[in-house]
Amino acid sequence: MDTLKNKVALITGGASGIGRATAILFAQEGAAVVIADIDAEAGQAVVKEIEAAGGRALFTACDVTKAQDCQQAVEAAVAAFGGLDILFNNAGIIRRADVLTTTEAEWDRVMDVNVKSIFLMSKCAIPHMERRGGGAIINTSSGWGLKGGRNAVSYCASKGAVTNMTRAMAIDHGRQNIRVNAVCPGDTDTPTLRSEAKQLGQPENEFLTESAARPLGRYGRPEEIAEAVLFLASEAASYITGAALVVDGGGLA
Amino acid sequence: MHGLKNKRVLITGGAGGIGFEMARRFLAEGARVAILDRDPLACQRAKESLPALSGILLADVSDETEVARAFDELDALFGGLDVLINNAGISIRHAFLDITADEWRSVINVNLNGVFYVAQQAARRMWAGSGGVILNMGSTNGLTGYPYYADYNASKAGVIELTRSMALELGPKVRVNAVCPGFIMTPMQEAEYTPEMRRAFEAKVPLQRLGKPEDVAALFAFLASDEAAFITGQAFVIDGGEIAGGLASQA
């Protein structure tokens, strides 16, 4: 229960879904957790949940597409907990549409939230990690960051970028003992997944049945992705960097 | 790691190197561990260092008859199997032009055929029972080209594809994954590399060091545990960033 004892972790998109599950798990494992999200109400609720269980957490309102917000989030973590060891770049959105039906504004928004945010947050976080003698950055990519998918062209482009920028960052910052890895979830039971059914105009139960069509015969739970993120953040993964950890019930096998 | 306590674990090539370190790690996680190895002396040493081992099966994974006999012994010992670590492997450093047919066969027989013989025995038991986890030892050499190990690289690429295919057929009862270590300093590696070669290699790895058997054992423990319950059909790289960018990044 103390895998992350004395560590400080910042989680973007920590108010719901995979980010929320990871925030709760990290806190259980002894980390002080900073939840950076645009949804203050949901974010504060996660903080309360963690504190009620005896953990340490802080919410900071943050639009990850804005450099100033990212800077403030990192500074809030350092001010509250004395430093930063783990950055989980998890905030993301999906637009289920092909090239013809994706607007330019939607394209920019997906790339900003899913890709630029990692650049902005990492830029602020890395100097603090270096000061602590190292750190771990985990980026949420996707199975669709490794292979293509239907009606999600901006999302696939963004997640492909996440997978490869993860490798590039691993190469650049290994010398500072900062490990950078991606987690690639398959379909996971989150608000985002359920929103996809709506975007595609498909009944939710039909969409979820299709999501479960994979070797393990089900879609994932946020807690299962959180376990993979915890592993990558922990000392157990001390020789793993530049890697993409796929957690998808065999969907890509 | 959750869910390894009292699990019945078999580790091939468990008497030395990474396999031995995994035996130690799984014992520390509370699992019941048997090792299968062809080296009687190494087995003896393993038993002395790890008296908690449940059993030692002397067998050569490249001999399907010996593997079948070892699994009969395992049935008597454990009455089933929850986790298979298919780790036994050999490598020979030699130029492609010099590889003899006997050398080629010996590498493929241990690294690919052996993985198949052992995996099928284990999978049949897991399939008939309550399921399980099979973890195969791949290598970054099975994902990217590397000179002087053509036979080894081909065998490891085979293991990775075997892993994916097994995952598709054996889900949802059995999870099957491969682990692809980069340069891990084991006795097998130490015999092959000079200190100069080692230093040159360390300089090319983003984390600036070679891996340790403990690093790899930790990844196996994670993948075998309940924490990896949604993970199957994948090959996981653990290489300090070595192949994140390939040769172009190693200037």
Decide if A168 touches B, using CB distance below 8 A: yes
Q: For residue B78, give its domain range.
A: 8-236
| Per-10-residue mean pLDDT, chain A, length 253 | 95 98 98 98 98 98 98 98 98 97 98 98 98 98 96 97 98 97 97 94 94 96 98 97 97 94
Find chain A residues with C-beta within 8 A of B212's C-beta. Answer: 239
From CA B56, how far away is CA B226, in angstroms rounded? 26
Residue B249: the pLDDT is 52
Tell me if B146 is assigned to some domain.
yes
Predicted local distance difference test score (pLDDT) of residue B193: 81
Task: Using the predicted structure, report yes or no on whether residue B250 has a pLDDT greater than 60.
Answer: no
Could you tell me the pTM of the whole model?
A: 0.90
Angle at A231 between CA A228 and CA A234, to 5 degrees: 150
pLDDT of residue B247: 55
With beta carbons under 8 A apart, name residues in chain A contacting B231.
Answer: 228, 245-249
Centroid of chain to Cα A175: 24
- Within-domain flag for B3: no
Phi-psi region of B90 (alpha: psi -120 to 50; beta: other; left: phi over 0): beta
What does DSSP assign to residue B52? T
The angle formed by the CA atoms of residues A120, A123 and A124, to the nearest 5 degrees, is 95
**Residue B131 within any structural domain of the chain:** yes
Residue B1 lies in a domain: no
- Contacts with A145 (C-beta within 8 Å, 6 or more apart), sequence order: A156, A159, A160, A161, A162, A163, A182, A184, A244
The Cα B198–Cα A6 span in angstroms is 34
Residue A5 in contact with partner chain B when CB distance is under 8 A: no
Verify whether the Cβ–Cβ distance A179 to B207 is below 8 Å.
yes
Structural domains counted in chain B: 1
Over range B76-90, report the average pLDDT: 97
How far apart are the C-alpha atoms of A110 and A99, rounded to whole Å? 13
Contacts of B221 in chain A (CB under 8 A): 236
Report the amino acid identity of residue A235.
Answer: E
Rounded to the nearest 10°, the torsion over CA A139, A142, A144, A147 is 80
Distance from CA of A247 to the nearest CA of B (A): 5
Chain B residues with beta carbon closer than 8 angstroms to that of A190: none
Q: What is the mean pLDDT of chain B?
A: 95
B245 occurs within a structural domain? no
How many other CB atoms are found less than 10 A from the CB of residue B52? 12
- For residue B244, being part of any structural domain is answered with no
CB A167 within 8 A of CB A146: no
- When pLDDT is cut at 50, 70 and 90, the band that residue B246 belongs to is low
Q: Closest-CA residue in chain B for A170?
A: B241
- Cβ atoms within 10 Å of B198's Cβ, excluding its own: 15
Per-residue pLDDT at B127 exceeds 50: yes
Q: How many Cβ atoms from other residues are within 10 Å of residue B136's Cβ?
A: 26
- What does residue A53 show for φ and ψ, rounded to 5 degrees? -90, 5
Read off the pLDDT of residues A67-85 as tens digits, 9 standing for 90 and up.
999 999 999 999 999 999 9
Q: What is the pLDDT of residues B154-201, one digit of tens each?
A: 999 999 999 999 999 999 999 999 999 999 998 767 877 889 988 988
- A215–B245: do the CB atoms touch at under 8 Å? no
A175 burial level (CB within 10 Å; 0-12, 13-18, 19+): exposed
Q: Which of B175, B222, B240 sits opposite A239 (nearest CB)?
A: B240
The residues pairing with A246 across neighbouring beta strands, listed in sequence order, are: A184
CB proximity B3 to A under 8 Å? no
How far is the first Cα of chain A from the last one, in angstroms, to the nearest whole number? 32
Can you give the CATH number for the domain in which B73 is found?
3.40.50.720
A171 part of contact set with chain B, CB < 8 Å: yes
ipTM here: 0.83
Using the beta-carbon criterion (under 8 Å), do B167 and A252 form an inter-chain contact? no
Residues 213-232 in B contacting A (C-alpha not used; CB under 8 Å): 215-216, 218-219, 221-222, 227-232
Does position B204 have pLDDT exceeding 90, yes or no? no
Q: Residue A243: its chain B contacts at CB < 8 A?
A: 236-239, 244
Helix (H, G, I), strand (E, B) or coil at A6: coil
From CA A224, how far away is CA B177, in angstroms rounded?
Answer: 16
Q: For the segment B220-244, what is each residue's pLDDT rounded down to a tens digit?
A: 999 999 999 999 999 999 999 999 9
Q: Are A215 and B168 in contact (CB under 8 A)?
A: yes
A246: contact with B, CB 8 A cutoff: yes
Could you tell me whether strands B132-137 and A86-89 are parallel, antiparallel, or unpaired per DSSP bridges? unpaired
Min distance A86 CA to chain B CA atoms (Å): 17
> How far, in Å, CA of B34 to CA of B56, rounded?
6
Query: From CA A184, how far away is CA A3, in angstroms rounded?
Result: 22
Interface test with A, best of B29, B207, B219, B225 (most A CBs within 10 A): B207
B170: tokens are 């054996």
- The yes-or-no verdict on residue B251 having pLDDT over 70 is no
Of B171, B212, B242, the CB nearest to A216: B171
| Chain A residue with Cα closest to B236 | A245
Return the pLDDT at A16.
Answer: 97
Under CATH, which number does the domain A8-247 receive?
Answer: 3.40.50.720
A216, B207: Cβ pair inside 8 Å?
A: no
- At residue A137, the 3 state secondary structure works out as strand
Measure the CA–CA gap between B151 and B107, rounded to whole angstroms. Answer: 6
Instruction: Determine the pLDDT at residue B34.
Output: 98
Whether A174 and chain B come into contact, CB under 8 Å, resolves to: yes
Q: How many residues does chain B have?
A: 251
User: How far is it, in rounded angstroms, from Cα A238 to Cα A236?
Assistant: 6
Give the per-residue pLDDT at A151: 96
| Residue B242 included in any domain | no
Q: Is the pLDDT of residue B245 over 90?
A: no
pLDDT tens digits along B92-125: 999 999 999 999 999 999 999 999 999 999 999 9
Residue A17 CA, distance from chain mean position? 10
- The partner residue sitting opposite A246, judged by closest CB among B172, B229, B234, is B234
Strands A86-89 and A135-140: parallel
Cα gap A110→A155, rounded to integer Å? 7
User: B152 an active-site residue?
Assistant: yes
Measured in degrees and rounded to the nearest 5, phi and psi for residue A201 equal 65, 35
Nearest CA in chain A to B175: A216
